Amino acid sequence: MKTQDPPSTPAAVRLTSRGGSITINGTSTELPTCSSLDDARQEADARLALLTKLNRTDTAVEYHLPDGSTEKLLIHPDGSTQQTDVVAGAPSKQKDKGGKQAAPTSPAKRSGRASVRRTLAVSTVVALLAASAAAAYLVEVQTPRARHDGAVAACQEAAGRLERAGRAGESKRAAGARDVQAGQVADAKTVSDYQRAVKAITKVKPVSCDASQSTADLREAARRMDAAAARRDDQAKAVERAAKAVLASRDAKSLADARAALKTKQDEGSKLLADSEGKAADNGTRDRLRGAIDAAGKVSSSKPDDYRKAQAAIQASIDAVNASMQAKADADAQAAAQSTQAAPPTPATPNYPKTVPQVPAPMPAPRVQAPQTRPQAPWSVPAPAPSDGPLPDHL
């Protein structure tokens, strides 16, 4: 008899003489080792009956037996079974004890065995239903205690997550950004942003998850700790982003500084090339300097070390040119000294003492003695001489 409604859960059971496997929706589960084929069938029936009861939907089972036959059953959630099809297997090629090929099992015998198996399956389902009812009763009685134990476990797990979040500490990138100063980056704002993100990190401390607390309190504690752990993770991510920006800005400045230093060294080398023309003992040093300058102009890299290597090459060539110029200057000075020593001596000019005409010293002027004067009496009008004649007309 075939059912009209398609089963909602297909299952395939492959049985061996002492075990087998159950495949449901592409997932296979091995049955435990059994003592016989009937025990393996009972184990499969019990598992499928329990699955059907839990799913509350029919389960369409296809049994593949060791003799090649196939049975199709429909297991209902109420524990009842319904056979939907039986396909006989290929004739057995087993031999009897005498070495002759054994006769194939008749359909009547196979049908009898199938009937026995169905009876066992129904008995197993009934037993499982009874056990399920007892288990449901126990769960109903123990639910408050189980909920409290679950709340304790959830609280402890949340405390562990919060503790790990607080213990995470600095990453390698954040530790590298911690010592970077504002003068070492292209954008000083990245350093201040990083410092601000570090200061925003809050300290976390797990709360107690004592079993003496109520279930509601334990759940609330777990909720608060999970929220704190989430905030701590967000803060750590903010620090990581800020640290990444700091290191990128530092690398950008290092690259810019390396490029600028190389350009300065190129200019120095070019000036030395012009100044050293005809002044180097080995002109090859100037050629090598020119080559180093040209090679530096072709450097295009995002690594500061590449520019530093080109700068070092120019500096080495500059040192070589300077040494060559010094060698030529020393050689020229030595040649000049040797040339001076090899020239004939020039007669010395007699050095007569110069005579200075003697000029007679001037005679001292004669001393003129000032006339001595006698002191004179005070002047007065002389008295007129006595005369008898008349006075002149002018008087």
pLDDT tens digit sequence for 68-104: 888 888 888 887 888 777 666 554 444 444 444 444 4
Q: How far apart are CA 391 and CA 385, in angstroms?
A: 11
- Structure confidence at residue 214 (pLDDT): 93
- Structure confidence at residue 395 (pLDDT): 47
Q: How far apart are CA 144 and CA 124, in angstroms?
A: 32
- Structure confidence at residue 141 (pLDDT): 44
Task: Provide the residue ranges of all domains of the chain, joining segments of one domain with +.
Answer: 9-89, 276-336
- Give the range among 1-5, 224-228, 361-365 with minimum mean pLDDT: 1-5
Query: In percent, how much of the chain has pLDDT > 70?
Result: 69
- Structure confidence at residue 371 (pLDDT): 53
Q: How far is CA 104 from CA 36, 70, 116, 148, 212, in A?
A: 21, 16, 20, 62, 70
- Structure confidence at residue 21 (pLDDT): 87
- Structure confidence at residue 365 (pLDDT): 59
**Strands 9-16 and 59-64: what pairing?**
parallel
More confident residue, 295 or 369: 295
pLDDT tens digit sequence for 52-67: 777 777 888 888 888 8
Q: How far apart are CA 328 and CA 340, in angstroms?
A: 18
**Is the whole-model pTM more than 0.75?**
no
Q: How far apart are CA 289 and CA 273, in angstroms?
A: 8
Mean model confidence pLDDT for the chain: 78
Confidence bin at 125 (pLDDT 50/70/90): very low
- Give the range among 15-19, 139-143, 163-167 with minimum mean pLDDT: 139-143
CA torsion sign for 95, 96, 98, 103 is: negative
Q: What is the residue whose two structure tokens read 């054994």?
A: 102
| Interval 271-295 mean pLDDT | 94
Q: In what order do the strands lie in the sheet with 9-16?
A: 27-30, 19-24, 9-16, 59-64, 70-75, 81-87
Q: How far apart are CA 299 and CA 8, in angstroms?
A: 70
Q: How far apart are CA 279 and CA 321, in angstroms?
A: 9
Q: How far apart are CA 230 and CA 165, in angstroms?
A: 8
pLDDT tens digit sequence for 206-255: 888 999 999 999 999 999 999 999 999 999 999 999 999 999 999 999 99
